Homo-oligomer: A and B are copies of this chain.
Amino acid sequence: MNAAQPLKCRPSDYKSEVKPIWCPGCGDYHVLMALTRAMAALGLPPERIAVVSGIGCSSRIPAYTNCYGFHGVHGRALAVASGLKIARPDMTVIVATGDGDGYSIGGNHFLHACRRNVDLTYIVMDNHIYGMTKGQPSPTTEPDFDTALTPGGTGLRPFNPLVVALASGANFVARAYSGNPNETAALIVDAVEHPGFSFVEVLSACVTYRPDQRAWKERVHPAPVAPTDDPARAARRLMTDDGFNLGVLFRGNRPAYAPAKASELVAPEKLEEEFEV
């Protein structure tokens, strides 16, 4: 946790009374835990935070918090969140989706959100599968993973979200593992506090369609090197890493998106003048 922030609230203050539909043992419970711990650590009142999502098991998370939430359609969370944050820069906006929502149908918004660099925190709960629709491959699914839709596996190179984020201009890139909720919470706090578009990929196991992911516990490890502020270097490292390096992997310093502002505002009626004959 970020020691500089006084703990004003308890994580439970950020939990709603809605019972998750998640399967027992789903990694997403830990993401929720990490998220509410991060919120408590940030010390923001729940009504100053908005959690925006798409569709999927993971995307159910907003209603399980006590913040303002938006559970939109599949793949469009970043667009909703960008509009919200640009129109309401005073709100803290956290986007939380899944690998299908964020990397498959939502891929274009990911590219352009990284590039636009609006001050958002983007958490992808990546389980390398479509949980909600019962086990089809996602862009991060391993090429030889067998599913009913892709017997024998997809044969496709998995999508590398962290490198794509770097290539597209994300200002903060981190990887977390939901089985470590305290570390995940700390990364989320860091991401929220970092200006611009912060991306946190969270490995969050699907115990129902990917029971093999229980082995993730053993595979994850802290990144062996300190975060860099050079996207090219970070990309190069991540293009060849094992996919289980945890921690902040890139910490950039591009200024966050700032829309044009007039030095002086005019009354709307004033705009009529240009049409006068």
Contacts and interface: CB of A to CB of B under 8 A. Distances in A.
Interface of A: 104-108, 111-112, 115-117, 139, 151-152, 155-160, 163-164, 166-169, 231-233, 235-236, 239-240, 254, 257-258, 260
Contacts of A164: 111, 164, 167-168
A91 B212 CA distance: 41
A257 B154 CA distance: 10
Given A235-B232, A239-B231, A257-B155, A139 B112 contact: yes
A128 to B, nearest CB: 14
Contacts of A160: 167-168
Contact of A157 (B117, B152, B158, B232): B117
A158 B236 CA distance: 20
6 contacts: A107-B111, A107-B112, A112-B139, A117-B156, A164-B164, A167-B167
A143 to B, nearest CB: 10
Nearest to A114: B157
A228 to B, nearest CB: 12
B117 A167 contact: no
Given A167-B239, A236-B236, A239-B232, A111 B159 contact: yes
A233 B169 CA distance: 18
A262 to B, nearest CB: 11
A90 to B, nearest CB: 21
Contacts of A139: 112, 115
B232 A240 contact: yes
Nearest to A231: B239
Given A107-B108, A157-B169, A235-B236, 7 more contacts: A107-B112, A115-B156, A115-B157, A116-B156, A151-B260, A160-B167, A233-B236
A126 B49 CA distance: 40
A138 B239 CA distance: 27
Contacts of A104: 112
Contacts of A257: 155-156
A232 B168 CA distance: 15
A58 B174 CA distance: 38
Nearest to A103: B111
Given A155-B257, A157-B254, A260-B151, A167 B235 contact: yes
Nearest to A104: B112
Contacts of A156: 115-117, 257
